[in-house]
Amino acid sequence: MIKPLPMTYKEMKEEYGWDEPDFVYVIGDAYVDHPSFGFAVISRLLESRGYKVAMLAQPDWKNEESIKEFGRPRLGFLVSAGNMDSMVNHYSVSKKRRRTDAYSPNGVMGKRPDYAVVVYCNLIRKVYKNVPIIIGGIEASLRRMAHYDYWSNKVKRSILMDSSADLLSYGMGELSTLAIAEALDSGMDVHDITYIEGTVYKTSNPEVIYEGLYLPSYEEICADKTTYAKSFYTQYQNTDHFTGKTLVEPYPNKQLVVQNPPARPLTQMEMDDIYGLEYTRRPHPSYKGHIPAIDEVKFSLSSCRGCYGGCNFCALTFHQGRIVQSRSHESLIKEAILMTNDKDFKGYIHDVGGPTADFRAPACDKQLKKGVCTNKQCLFPKPCKSLNVDHTDYIQLLRKLRAIPKVKKVFIRSGIRFDYVVADKNQAFLEELCKYHVSGQLKVAPEHVVDHVLDKMGKPKRAVYNQFAKSYANMNKKLNKKQYLVPYLISSHPGSTLEDAVVLAEAIRDMGYMPEQVQDFYPTPATISTCMYYTGLDPRTMEHVYVSRNPHEKAMQRALVQYAEPRNYELVKEALIKTGRVELIGFGKECLIPPRKIVKNKGKKSSERVSNTKNTRRSKTR
């Protein structure tokens, strides 16, 4: 029987018979031993190499005794905020505190601190002065160099400086973490571990740096947004293993933060080995409550990592890289069969994918020899001539999964690239998608409809989405199926004016579909779009970009996407008047809203109802 790794000293002694762990892994999530959780992969990988790993999940950061649960580990502490950045986990884009946390028992909010990695590390350092501390995970990875922090609205130092950690493992971290463990186990001082790809360290001795490319200093990027944008884009151009250079960021008092080149992409055999490790595939049995985050991934398959889609609002380029790595069919089928034996399996595989479901191989043949192009994208602004457009392998994989006994249906929920589907002249995948893998609705991500906004997003032009929508409709007609597209849309993205938001609302009207959800642009660390938001510059061209930062204008842009919602009436009306689009106020089929809001509320005159509604909305706005 597969056992979870220990969460308490008592469990460590009784279940494993250890006197001390090699590593204590401090995490901001509840401990779920499933390969969709990064800390589960890293801990099981270390275990497979003979290391003893104890899991310290969501310790009480207000009480230093909580960090002493296992005593001082033999080799060091590993620290991760969890599967999400703690600030994104805690706050909405309007900086309001979220009510629930899907990664905590029963969804209870408040089990981890803001800026969790920094808080955990400083707590460890307070108790154990000289113990090695290695940080990783999404929060550390995307904050590895100085970065704009949306929640404090300022440029923050590298998280390595603020956390007092010794080393940072960025990206997915398997290769670098194993190399760090081997170095520490050999007796090396953590401060001498400066050579491992996929790591960041700090030093005051420039002689240890081999062929470093110096970035502007922290003081320089804080003082000038143009300098910040240039520095960011230099980092963006060095996110590939084959072409990336060692980057050096100077700080006061002669301190240097040094980012080694990224770790190499994993081979298919390595991917198979990692996902083939023994996991319990469920939360630690000590939890009394349910961990909501397990629901979607429990019966999903991670078939690939990395993405060459290049969306500017996505941080995948900085974290997983642009070279796609995939698992073998055999590995995925083995995991799927394992799922079917679970007592809770109902016959449905919820997803087969990754960052982009239908990417199963590098974009072109040269990427695994020479790396990705530093100044060109594979799909944007249109597909590269060298792009290998082929869904054959994915089709075969899906067919094999559908044929497994007990499997009723295989869904694709992690998203497909509609422009990649359009680029495929063979419609075999589109046919199989519509025939077998959609249940009424297919979610895709055009994000906007105005071409100059799409350019700032790194997304294809509107005509490409229209072409996909037409092909999708024709295929469903051919198959005699009634299935619809559900577009994901982003409001207030850099480049989007209020006038552009009105055009988006008109497009939604013409689609005959009212989005149930809309995402206001969220400036998270390490994206081109966030750089635009902070600097007002497109770092790719250094051209000025319009940025909506006023909360009221952002509210109007968001409301226009759901213009038919009664609660949005006043904001939509104000936006239409402000943009001079009053012809869209009326009763014609081209109109978005009627001249006045009609409220059905017995007992009051119509004029009173409208007046009270306006007053209520104004008070809520304030």
Instruction: Judge whether 544 lies within some domain.
Output: no
Instruction: Judge whether 432 lies within some domain.
Output: yes
Q: How confident is the model at residue 428 (pLDDT cuts 50, 70, 90)?
A: very high
3-class secondary structure, 615: helix
Mean pLDDT, range 579-606, rounded to an integer? 81
The answer to whether 526 touches 142, Cβ cutoff 8 Å, is: yes
Q: Are residues 195 and 317 in the same domain?
A: no
CATH number at 390 reads 3.30.750.210
Evaluate if residue 332 carries a pLDDT over 90: yes
Q: Are residues 313 and 197 in the same domain?
A: no
The answer to whether 183 touches 169, Cβ cutoff 8 Å, is: no
Mean pLDDT, range 248-277, rounded to an integer? 97
The answer to whether 356 touches 416, Cβ cutoff 8 Å, is: yes
pLDDT of 414: 84
Q: Are residues 67 and 199 in the same domain?
A: yes
Pairing mode, if any, of strands 133-135 and 167-169?
parallel
Q: How confident is the model at residue 614 (pLDDT cuts 50, 70, 90)?
A: very low
Of 107-111, 258-262, 509-513, the one with minimum mean pLDDT is 509-513
pLDDT of 276: 97
Mean pLDDT, range 562-571, rounded to an integer? 95
- Please name the helix (run of DSSP H) or strand (run of DSSP E) that holds residue 80, with its range, or none: strand 76-80
Instruction: Say which residue the tokens 């110096």 belong to.
Output: 214
Of residues 511 and 158, more confidence is placed in: 158
Strand blocks (E) in 18-74: 23-27, 53-57
Q: Are residues 193 and 337 in the same domain?
A: no
Q: Of 385, 420, 439, which one is at a domain's C-terminal end?
A: 439
DSSP 328-357: -HHHHHHHHHHHHTSTT--SEE-EEESSST
Instruction: Judge whether 575 lies within some domain.
Output: no
Domain count, the chain: 2
Mean pLDDT, range 69-89, rounded to an integer? 97
Q: Are residues 191 and 314 in the same domain?
A: no
Instruction: Say which residue the tokens 């009424």 belong to.
Output: 440
Q: Of 382, 413, 439, which one is at a domain's C-terminal end?
A: 439
Evaluate if residue 240 carries a pLDDT over 60: yes
Q: How confident is the model at residue 608 (pLDDT cuts 50, 70, 90)?
A: very low
Residues 83-97 pLDDT 10s = 999 999 999 999 999
pLDDT of 296: 86
CA distance linking residue 339 with residue 275, whole number of Å: 13
- Give the CB-side neighbour count of residue 467, counting CA atoms within 13 A: 13
Instruction: Judge whether 119 lies within some domain.
Output: yes
Instruction: Judge whether 566 lies within some domain.
Output: no
Q: Are residues 15 and 136 in the same domain?
A: yes
Q: How confident is the model at residue 456 (pLDDT cuts 50, 70, 90)?
A: very high
Evaluate if residue 398 carries a pLDDT over 80: yes
Instruction: Judge whether 531 lies within some domain.
Output: no
Instruction: Judge whether 145 lies within some domain.
Output: yes
pLDDT of 600: 58
Give residue 383's identity as a one-letter amino acid code: P
Q: Are residues 195 and 311 in the same domain?
A: no
CA dihedral 497, 502, 504, 509 (to 10 degrees): 170
The answer to whether 268 touches 327, Cβ cutoff 8 Å, is: yes
CA distance linking residue 324 with residue 266, whole number of Å: 9
CATH number at 180 reads 3.40.50.280
Q: Are residues 326 and 435 in the same domain?
A: yes
Q: Are residues 303 and 176 in the same domain?
A: no
CA distance linking residue 547 with residue 447, whole number of Å: 17
Q: Of 421, 439, 457, which one is at a domain's C-terminal end?
A: 439
Of 23-37, 292-306, 602-616, the one with minimum mean pLDDT is 602-616
Instruction: Supply angle C-alpha 486, 489, 494, rounded to 5.
Output: 165
Q: Which residues pair with 256 in a beta bridge?
A: 203, 250
Which residues span the domain enclosing 337?
299-439
Give the residue among 240, 259, 29 at the shortest CA–CA distance from 147.
Answer: 259
Q: Are residues 306 and 179 in the same domain?
A: no
Mean pLDDT, range 117-145, rounded to an integer? 97
Instruction: Judge whether 263 lies within some domain.
Output: no
Mean pLDDT, range 196-209, rounded to an integer? 96
Residues 519-552 pLDDT 10s = 999 999 999 999 999 999 999 999 999 999 999 9
Q: Are residues 193 and 52 in the same domain?
A: yes
Evaluate if residue 6 carries a pLDDT over 50: yes
Q: Are residues 179 and 307 in the same domain?
A: no
Average of per-residue pLDDT values in the chain: 94
